[in-house]
Chains A and B, each alone.
Chain A
């Protein structure tokens, strides 16, 4: 496949991300406005950060005039999961690929773009990533702008429906391999079950969702790797 066809495939696969980002960043725009951030600032934040939980947290940090250090530490903790994602993706990048691509590709490591990237068989083309980014980033930025300037443009029903577009995408990535492999099916089931328990149990539920993702990933993927190490043929 040529670079251009990888790019086009990225755009096509990125459509659910565009829709989901539009909805989520729209609510971010509304929240930004009510916490006293201007449209330009909110749009710049979305464009330069491309992350949801971190940006929502930033709003309250800015509103309370906390220190820059506090901002840095909060972002580090909330977004540390990207470190795990980048580590996993590093194995899907060809070492023959010019090194500078890594600097652009890493900007696009979001939960959702990661979800699509791991879905690729074998090595990933940087142009596939760029295709996804070229719809995801405008979706995230545009939704933010619309949320700030017109909080009533998208009705609540539409927002509620679009908010599951991203989860639908995650499910589309994990279910087909789970159907083929009992081990992956088990990993998915255990992960969802423990995530549910973490969310609903007193004390455990006080752990932020970002930290919950890191803890469960280290434990579940770690234990599975020891119990069921990969054989050569089904490596990444």
Chain B
């Protein structure tokens, strides 16, 4: 490696921080335009959904354990369980499914 690893790290950290910081410093006021406001309101639901599915099926040892984790988490969340229990229930479902079938 001819390039310096620490410079690589500094470059990537700088770029990534800049991306995160820019909207925080540029958008200082409450947006009043109803369409932009609505757009920003819907953003989290789309990003979180897109990041979860189908990735949850791909990160586990197999599709079926991932699916078990997904269904369990949706059920626990639907019935109003707290965040940590939804999360732990998904892990437990994956663990148990993989013990049985893999």
Question: B37 and A235: CB pair below 8 A?
Answer: yes
- Tell me the smallest distance from the CB of A152 to a CB of chain B, in Å: 16
Contact of A86 with B87 in the complex, beta carbons under 8 Å:
no
Q: Which residues of B contact A177 (CB under 8 A)?
A: 45
- Hey, which chain B residues are within 8 Å of A71, CB to CB? 8, 11-12
Chain A residues with Cβ below 8 Å from B23 are: 83, 86-87, 89-90
Number of interface residues of A (CB under 8 A): 105
| Chain A residues with CB under 8 A of B48 | 111, 115, 118, 170, 173-174
Query: 5 interchain pairs (CB within 8 A)?
Result: A65-B3, A71-B12, A86-B21, A90-B24, A91-B37
How many whole Å from A233's CB to the nearest CB in chain B?
Answer: 12
Q: Is B34 located at the chain interface by the 8 A CB criterion?
A: yes
A203 at the A/B interface (Cβ < 8 Å)?
no
Q: How far is the CB of B12 from chain A (nearest CB, A)?
A: 5
- Whether A172 contacts B77 by the Cβ 8 Å rule is yes
Cβ A86 vs Cβ B22 within 8 A: yes
Whether A217 pairs with B47 at a CB distance below 8 angstroms is yes
| A115 touches which of B2, B35, B44, B50 (Cβ 8 Å) | B44
B55 within 8 A of partner (CB): yes
B52 lies within 8 A of A212 (CB): no
- Residues of A191-224 at the interface with B, using a CB-CB cut-off of 8 Å, are 191-192, 194-196, 199-200, 209, 212-213, 216-217, 220-222, 224
Our pick among A45, A172, A217 for the contact of B86 (Cβ within 8 Å) is A172
